[in-house]
Amino acid sequence: MGAGDGRWSIDIAATQHILAAVDATIEDFDTDARRLSEAIRAASETAGASKTGAALVNVVNELLMSEIVAAKTHAMNASTQTSAAVNAYIQGDLEMAQNMTTTMDP
């Protein structure tokens, strides 16, 4: 928004670049979750049939994985909603330009 002038100005290219980076990071969530699960499984196997090994697997499966899914969902929703807002901004600019052209042409 401008300096108290009530106008909004969004750098569309920069915003789209950031959203693309966010979307790429979101795609990494599944890979990262799989790697975490594999690492914990390996640590659990190293611990043997102990309660520690079972606790490690339990923490990952019941706590961390649900948090990863929740974080991914929140990031996806934020990215989707921000993209929709940017697209609405672009559409509004196009409509405003069209209206201005129509008004100026006799």
Q: What are the tens digits of pLDDT across the range 21-48?
A: 999 999 899 898 889 888 888 887 777 7
Share of the chain above pLDDT 90, in %: 35
Q: Is residue 102 part of a domain?
A: no
Q: Is residue 51 part of a domain?
A: yes
> Is the separation of the CB atoms in 90 and 12 below 8 Å?
yes
Report in angstroms the alpha-carbon separations of 11 from 14, 90, 98.
5, 11, 20
3-class DSSP state of 29: helix
The total domain count for the chain is 1
> What residues make up the domain containing 90?
21-97
**At residue 92, what is the residue type?**
G
pTM of the model: 0.69
